[in-house]
Amino acid sequence: MTAKPIALHPDPLAPFRISPGFEVNGLLFLSGHAAISESGELIGVGDFDAQAEATFQSLERTLIAGGSALSKVIKVTIFLTDMGYFDRIVALRGHWFSEPYPADTIVEVRALALPELMIEIEAIATQG
């Protein structure tokens, strides 16, 4: 079994020494994605909706780089700094994913890697 890193160009996670994800035997394991632009800038500081949109776009970009797509996601873990956004997450899942919806865990955390971040999503997907 070999693990092949998913490469992004540019890679906004490189300064943090984080791989965007790995492909192992046809499965993609993605790191947590947040509202960080391709150039490494924070998006939507103080704006949950802007951050959520940017986070899903970042997730999609990495899936495509790994030969997959949002429709191939089988499991997500969503980290929120405020569970008050739960209803918005449900709506976003309906926008970004389709049936059958991925397995999901949603967790409220006190903070994420950068203090301005409000949402982070990690995923497991199939390839091809």
Amino acid in the structure at residue 56: F
Give residues with Cβ within 8 angstroms of 26, minimum separation 6.
Answer: 126, 127, 128
* pLDDT of residue 1 exceeding 80: no
63 pLDDT exceeds 90?
yes
pLDDT at 41: 93
8 Å CB contact between 123 and 101: no
pLDDT digits (tens, 9 = 90+) for 96-127: 999 999 999 999 999 999 999 999 999 999 99
Q: pTM for the full model?
A: 0.95
The pLDDT tens digits of the residues spanning 4-44 come to 999 999 988 888 899 999 999 999 999 999 999 998 899 99
Strand pairing report for 27-33 and 73-80: unpaired
* pLDDT, position 16: 86
Top-tier CATH class for 51-128:
alpha beta
Lateral strand order in the sheet of 21-24: 3-5, 21-24, 27-33, 119-126, 73-80, 103-108
